[in-house]
Amino acid sequence: MSDQDRRTQLRAAATGFFDGLVKKDFELMPYAAEASLRAPFCPGGVHAPVAGREELRKIWEGIFPMITGVDTWDFYYNDDLTGVVATAEVRTVDPPGARLRVADRFTVDAAGRIVEQENHLDPRDVTHPGWRNE
């Protein structure tokens, strides 16, 4: 596979994740069976990854109702083309108007499936609504 083809595959994995998020369809998220997720809002936070596709399904299907939109911006690839970071803004229902700016890191296997994900975000719109007006 050429480097450009691999970049396309990495971008497709990240885009698939965000498409699944906005369309509220876990099947669009290309997780491998053994995938893991580190995220501040998950049980245990970033230090205790959620592991396994079905466990990830439970997490995301619980979050789907809160998502109102997603805008993705840029994609950054590591040197050995095993991973990609995607930047985006995720809009939520509660609190109204909340916008989470995220930089999600994905490690992707040779088949184009996400094997590791780590979410980095500014949670203040959710944890401290109105913080921008203080």
Domain encompassing residue 109? 3-133
Asked if 98 and 126 touch (Cβ cutoff 8 Å), the reply is yes
State the CATH number of the domain containing residue 9: 3.10.450.50
Structure-token pair, residue 48: 């205790």
When pLDDT is averaged across residues 59-72 and rounded to a whole number, the result is 93
Which pLDDT score is estimated for 119? 92
What pLDDT score was predicted for residue 98?
Answer: 82
Q: What three-state secondary structure class fits 85? A: strand
| Predicted structure pTM score | 0.91
Q: Which residue type occupies 59? A: I
pLDDT, residue 94, reads 76
